[in-house]
Chain A
């Protein structure tokens, strides 16, 4: 398989990206794991109790789990990993995921010095207690998230920064790290002592091939058994759709247009709503051609809380009426608006389509400005332009990961919009343990966000495109876009021939011109 790039870190407390998670999740086992329907099922914890109105979690660990060096996994290993994640000296980027735990924020910001005062406590070798500041129904999902897998204190302290190298690392997951040639290849082998049984695959080679056309050529030559978005150019998707090796499914990644509501004319909600109604979202899959799913709600359909009616829909006459009410009849007098987007080919196509839609349906002209990725990100953080392109990918399969962005104080909300009413709804959803009531609250927040206030205009959901050789079975198609490989197997009876059409190989390879925009290509794996 192809990772697309070097994992920045396989130290679970330092990792923040899907490439690293793809490796970690196959090496380590957490308290829980995701089922195919994205619910949490037992993993190292065979059961758990939720007490004190959702503020106390008690995890009961299995007693038969061994680390790769033979030692037994205990609750102390989770306690160590979680406290290390929160240790300010470690500088873990994803420490904030545990801020719901008693004392976590204070400890991570240096206000609390004693880690023993954290709400993480080992009751006995196989029982872990976690106390939260407030009920957080999504908390259980965090226990299946890569940054919360266990770590061995003795190994981390003994080898320091080098503890993740193959000669030192100690793991408890389905595979063992056999070799890591940096910037080139990671090799995993089956863990014969994995508590759920030895995986089907004896060996996995994870290459780090940055260029999509190269990875695709290797797939054609049967040197890769399966590839995903990281490994074939957009232009190929259309021609591959007829292949029996092709799979497609939507991801939990939503793209949107954001407005800085402190800047004119987007301080007027009628303008924002008019723009949302003037965009025909069905255009995006036609121009991007990766089977994107048009979306006008912020919560993706795969998550509880999604409601089809949450968004604005496409309604040009109503959009024109709203724009006229805002003082711009037929677009007259509409100020010059600059729209910022990252300098990537796909973003450019989307923004040009939106520019065209707004000109046609509202008779307004927007100026497109692209910037290199980091410059663009800094512009969003420091001084967001009136209109910009943005996106969000789920960290865990719960609506909370999408909705808390727009709560007051969240650094990922570049719109400058916040609302007490919205915050109250989301806070109520966070505390609600009844699934149906939670979903209804999130749906209410989503409608408030996308239909009433409209600081953002959701546009489409990204999708994952896979090519899987006929002899490979068990590849999981999960919208979180993390590769769980323990159930994958090879069917030796299948012939090793490919059914793909080779006609366009040369044209595909010529797309190496994309190398000129390499930084974006590298980043597109996210």
Chain B
């Protein structure tokens, strides 16, 4: 296990290097720069600003300058939010997204997996059809529609939950539900398909024929073996959820990291684009490593060398 972790850490270095280099090049290829605004600045003023941010240097010099800073853990400075470092911006925003993301993930796991099991066990019954209707709706209805409905029903109509903002634990509920809607439906469908497949296995039939109750068979034998594909998708899903959703954060005015994935690009805030991309890549690597470790716990057949 420790070998796996060590190997993943070593692999992460070239992966992050490639991600950083590719992102650096791509953001500079895109037309438009960070200082192309509504009102054009005089060339001499623009020159001063570019010199301040070292953007007056050749691209290869900018690249080495950035990589040097990156090697020291410095993600650079924002061109849009003057005086603020990318480290500072992400340090403020990431914890908020993590909090919201974990709340959404918790809902998705706690609702999605049992719902999928229920649908599989009650296959071709009204319960199954209802579950599948809900999951199809969850996957196909966009987040902004789900959010709008939740805001209207609970915030404006019933007035029992806050419409938006990020002030107290009550403010987490609606955005977490909005964020969880899609992943819950996805996990439910995946669990259902997986449980149905496992239920057809010979050893499940054997367990039942030996007199094990249906409930015990499902919990002890079927569920554990069905979770492999679910755990596989949980890795990237976790990375996606905890780095923030642009739609949900935008809609509920939550000061998370999700909005920067879009606004940093539209502002051509080069270092911030790099920062968000690298953080996402890093979290993805960590989440996938955890998934690999989870395999060994769930399936004794899986052994990781090292």
Contact = CB atoms under 8 A, between A and B. Distances in A.
A183 B259 contact: yes
A430 B5 CA distance: 70
Interface in A377-398: 377-379, 381, 391-393
A487 interface: no
Contacts of B10: none
Nearest to B260: A183
A515 B250 contact: yes
A220 B156 contact: yes
Contact of A183 (B93, B144, B262): B93
Interface stretch (B15-23, B163-171, B192-200, B217-225): B163-171
A117 B136 CA distance: 73
Interface string A199-217: 0000000011111011101
Nearest to B155: A217
Interface string A204-236: 000111110111011011010000000000000
Given A183-B92, A412-B39, A519-B266, A14 B163 contact: no
A145 B155 CA distance: 40
Contacts of A217: 151, 155-156, 163-164
B81 interface: yes
A89 interface: yes
B89 interface: yes
A300 to B, nearest CB: 17
B14 to A, nearest CB: 32
Contacts of B246: 515, 518
Indicate the size class of the contact surface on chain A: 35 or more
A510 B143 CA distance: 11
Contacts of B259: 183, 210
A506 B152 contact: yes
B255 A183 contact: yes
A505 interface: yes
Contact of A512 (B32, B45, B144): B144
B98 to A, nearest CB: 15
Given A6-B81, A378-B33, A411-B43, A512 B148 contact: yes
Contacts of A8: 80-82
A505 B152 contact: yes
Nearest to A208: B253
Contacts of B148: 213, 506, 509-510, 512
Interface string B24-65: 000000011101111111111100110111000000000000
A93 B45 contact: yes
Contacts of B7: none
Nearest to A373: B266
B99 to A, nearest CB: 13
Contact of A510 (B48, B145, B268): B145
Nearest to A160: B83
Contacts of B166: 184
A109 B69 CA distance: 29
A91 B48 contact: yes
A381 B36 contact: yes
A146 interface: no
Interface residues of B, number: 55
A184 B255 contact: yes
Nearest to B51: A91
Contacts of A332: none
Contacts of B254: 184
A109 B44 CA distance: 6
Contacts of A513: 144
B270 interface: no
Given A377-B36, A515-B144, A214 B252 contact: yes
A476 interface: no
A164 B83 contact: yes
A372 B30 CA distance: 11
A526 to B, nearest CB: 6
A161 B83 contact: yes
A375 interface: yes
Contacts of A93: 35, 41, 45, 49
B31 A374 contact: yes
A95 interface: yes
A11 B82 contact: yes
Interface string A64-92: 00000000000000000000000011111
B8 interface: no
A108 interface: yes
Contacts of A522: 263, 266
A210 B165 contact: no
Contacts of B303: none
Given A93-B49, A505-B152, A505-B156, A182 B32 contact: no
Contacts of B42: 96, 411
Interface string A249-287: 000000000000000000000000000000000000000
B152 A184 contact: no
B83 A162 contact: yes
B205 interface: no
Given A412-B40, A509-B152, A372 B32 contact: yes
B159 to A, nearest CB: 7
A519 B262 contact: yes
B44 A11 contact: no
Contacts of B82: 8-9, 11, 14
A210 B40 contact: no
Interface in B254-276: 254-255, 259, 262-263, 266, 268
Given A209-B164, A217-B164, A378-B32, A182 B92 contact: yes
Contacts of B268: 374
A392 B39 CA distance: 8
A512 B253 contact: no
A485 to B, nearest CB: 20
Contacts of A505: 152, 156
A444 to B, nearest CB: 25
Nearest to A2: B253
B84 interface: yes
A526 B39 CA distance: 11
A90 B48 CA distance: 8
Interface string B137-162: 00000001101110110011001001
B38 A393 contact: yes
A140 to B, nearest CB: 21
Contacts of A523: 266
B41 A96 contact: yes
A234 B166 CA distance: 26
Contacts of A374: 31-33, 36, 266, 268
A313 to B, nearest CB: 28
A16 interface: yes
A184 B250 CA distance: 11
A223 B163 contact: yes
Given A8-B80, A502-B156, A519-B263, 7 more contacts: A89-B48, A93-B45, A221-B156, A372-B32, A392-B39, A510-B148, A518-B246
27 contacts: A6-B81, A8-B80, A91-B45, A91-B48, A96-B41, A108-B44, A161-B83, A181-B255, A182-B84, A183-B92, A183-B93, A207-B253, A210-B250, A215-B253, A223-B165, A377-B37, A393-B38, A502-B156, A506-B148, A506-B152, A512-B144, A512-B148, A515-B247, A515-B250, A519-B263, A522-B263, A526-B38
7 tightest Cβ-Cβ pairs between the two chains A and B: A374-B32, A91-B52, A519-B266, A184-B255, A512-B144, A161-B83, A9-B82
